[in-house]
Every structure is written in C-alpha cells, then in structure tokens.
Amino acid sequence: MNLLFFEDFKKFKTMKPSHASDAGPALAIGDNAIIATGLKIQAVGGIMLRYGLVVVLAWIGAMKFTGYEAKAIQPLVASSPFMGWMYNFVTVQQFSTGLGCVEIAIATLIALRPWSAMLAVIGSAAAAGTFLTTLSFIISSPGWEPSLGGFPALSAGTGEFVIKDLVLLGASIWLLGEAWKGLSRVSPRVMP
C-alpha cells in the first residue's frame, strides 16, 4: 500500500545541515528532529483527515435512508435553487435515499486513495461539490438569526448546521490536491 503522506518525510533526509559547504538546501543543527517530528504529525493528520471525512460522509449518507433524516433535510433542499426542483420528480424519501447513495459512493472513492489516486481525485472533487452545495443553504435557507440583527449571527438551526461544511470543504480540497499529486509518476519532493 503506497501512502504518499510519508514521501516528504523520506525526502527531507537528503537535506544537509547548515554547516555543509555546498549550496544545497540547508538545515540548522537540531532542525532535523523538528522537521522529522512535524512531518510525522502531518502524515498522521493527513490520514485522520482522509478517513475522518470518509466516516462523516458514509455515516451521514447512511442516515439519509431514514425518514428522520429525509424530513430534516427537506426544508433545506426545498429552498435550494440547486436541488429544490428535484421534488417535482421524486418524493422526499426517494431524494434523500439517492443523496445517501451518492454520499456513500463519494466516501468509498476517497477511501480507495491507497489503491487509486484517480478514484480519490473523483471522490474528493465530488465531496468539494457536495459541501459547496450545502454551504449555499446559508443563503437559500434562513441561515441568519433575525433577532440578533441577521448577518453575521448564525441561526441555531440551519446556520450552525451548515457552517461546519466550511471545514469539510477545506478537507475535501486538501485531499483533492494530495490525490492529484498521486497521479504523477514523479514522487513529490520537499520544497527548499
């Protein structure tokens, strides 16, 4: 299993201490341990980011098969210019079930990163699109609390429910970039 998270760690070992005489990348004495630790933490964080997003998408996707979740998202979907029209063709539960299938498929594609960078690129891009769409609910639904003067006060329902998708969007974009690098036949290197 090839995890590119550890490539930077492998590459940094070729850097020379600052007392080296050639013009190559320089490190101050003691920086090696700091950089090595930072790269290890970053590698663990990358793995947690990927599989944390997989769990979130799969879990939320599985919940879409329940009537409870279908009813919970119905007002958001109905007021969305991107998705509201779907209720003209399918029931609330059918839409929710279909959305759940899509979210589970996206989670699966992202999880397959160690075996296929291309599938992870597709899954990460789809996740980013999903979170951009849900973030639009802040505008199309009552996402601001009028009793507090509106923007920037988030409503306790829609606003607080949706704002977390900013972080999930960021995770999706980061994972998209990481998987995209995996499409190259050239191993990534540490930038000086």
pLDDT in tens, 69-105: 999 899 889 988 888 899 999 999 999 999 999 999 9
* CA 49 vs CA 115, 146, 149, 162: distances in Å: 17, 35, 35, 19
Q: Which parts of the chain sit beneath pLDDT 70?
A: 1-29, 142-159, 186-192
Burial class (CB in 10 A: 0-12, 13-18, 19+), 31: middle
pLDDT computed for residue 174 by the predictor: 96
pLDDT computed for residue 146 by the predictor: 67
Buried b (16+ CB within 10 A) or exposed e, 131-169: beebbbbbebbebbbeeeeeeeebbeebbebbeebeebb
pLDDT computed for residue 185 by the predictor: 73
Single-letter code of the amino acid located at 173: I
Rounded to 10 degrees, the C-alpha dihedral 2/5/11/13 comes to: -110
Cut 0.85: pTM above it: no
pLDDT computed for residue 190 by the predictor: 42
